[in-house]
Amino acid sequence: MGRTANEWAQKPPLPETHYVDSLVYTDEGIFEEEKERIFAKTWMLACHESELPEPNDYRTYQHPAGVNLIVVRGEDDGVRSFYNVCPHRGNTILYSPSGNAKRMTCIFHAWSFDAQGNCVGLPREKAGYCSGDDCSITRKDLGLRAVKTQVGYGGFVYVNLDDECGPLEDHIGPALDTIIEQIDTEPLEVFSYHRAVVDTNYKLWHDTNSEFYHDYLHVHNRLTSMKQEGYFERKMIPFPNGHAEVGSQEVHYEAYEGGKGRAEAGFPGVEGNPWSLIDLFPGYSYNLRASVLRVDSQIPLGPNKTIVEYRSLGLKSDTEEQRSQRVKDNLVIWGPFGRNLHEDLLAVHGQGRAIPNGSRYVLHAREEDSTIHDEVGMRHFYAEWSKRMGRPAGDPMQELEATGSART
């Protein structure tokens, strides 16, 4: 028998760690606070170094805290990031998602900047801006706003808006140790990039990467890997700062009808066909499977709008045959048009449609000794989220009432 409205609104009879209030996915006030307390203070993955192969190559990056950034390779080979905001009168400097610019020139009054953020051109400077001893403003005062940037963990470019933040290594900790030899021995290269905007909350997509109970969503998983010996015994390994290794195993591709061994184009130190999936807080996944490293990013644009990005990588040193195998495997199985992601999309889109219009609590209560169908991965994520936000995800309106956000 279904529940009445009153029953539906009751907190579930579970520990507060085992469910979240649906408002964490829908409330504008909570989203604004996430920008401040999480995104503006955390190392965020902006792109991969191979997307900036030459000096003065740049990419623009929509940072989840709301700021648009320029990520650019300097002539000294260093990768740096800056606010995509002109220090003169606040115009956007670069509009293209990517390009090469020896001088990044603002169209408004033609101030220009180099890849180190210096202001290197300022029309009629002497006529209007003093440059003598008594001058109160110099070119040094007119540079771009720099953002902390580190390249690592497979050559990814991480940025942090907080000038006081600790190093990237402190944030990642041991989370990527399982795959570090594979991804950090030789330079990697992005060979496929896919991006889409989905009407859902970024955490909902990250949640699907944190739990495998949704194997039942995936036709191929039901028919293949769920039948593999040891599948249900795999353990989720939690790490500090909300990261987790949510599943690693050897995959027997040859056991699948039409399958074959996939190790010909692997990664350094790899024997056989291991598969590892590591989730990084607050919205990244490293998914290393035989011939392809796929790294996913969820970039929120609002409580119910998310950019999802998929980068698939191989080795920069790939032969033509190795690369074509990776491309084929990515297209057929691992990539956005492959085996599983279209089914994940149906589920998170369905959540994005229903949760703002009637959901009250979302359950993360399944316990199975931290093995693969245990929902402990989500509980681990929301423990970190609750710590950063200063309130439990199961009761998130404790302090927001003063700001006017509330369930309507």
Instruction: For the chain, count helices (H), then strands (E).
Output: 11, 19
344 binds, among ligand FES, Fe ion, none (CB under 5 to 8 A by kind): Fe ion
Binders of ligand FES among 190-219, rule CB under 6 A? none
In the complex with Fe ion, the residue whose CB is nearer, 184 or 344, is 344
Interface residue with Fe ion, options 105, 344, 359, 360 (CB under 5 A): 344
80 bridge partner residues: 72
* CA distances, 359 to each of 189, 219, 347, 353, 407 (Å): 42, 27, 15, 10, 11
In the complex with ligand FES, the residue whose CB is nearer, 104 or 290, is 104
Angle at 198 between CA 192 and CA 201, to 5 degrees: 115
Angle of helix 202-210 relative to helix 341-354, nearest 10 degrees, comes to 130
Number of chain positions touching Fe ion (CB under 5 A):
1
In the complex with ligand FES, the residue whose CB is nearer, 86 or 400, is 86
Strand order in the sheet with 284-289: 188-198, 305-315, 292-302, 284-289, 274-280, 244-250, 237-238
Site membership for Fe ion, residue 215 (CB under 5 A): no
**Quick one: CA torsion of 171, 173, 178, 182, rounded to 10 degrees?**
60
125 binds, among Fe ion, ligand FES, none (CB under 5 to 8 A by kind): none
In the complex with ligand FES, the residue whose CB is nearer, 112 or 359, is 112
Binders of ligand FES among 58-117, rule CB under 6 A? 86, 88-89, 91, 106, 108-109, 111
Residue 7: CB minimum distance to ligand FES, A: 58
In the complex with ligand FES, the residue whose CB is nearer, 137 or 354, is 137
Distance between CA atoms of residues 146 and 376, nearest Å: 38
Distance between CA atoms of residues 345 and 160, nearest Å: 29
In the complex with Fe ion, the residue whose CB is nearer, 80 or 218, is 218
Interface ranges with Fe ion (CB under 5 A): 344
Interface ranges with ligand FES (CB under 6 A): 86, 88-89, 91, 106, 108-109, 111
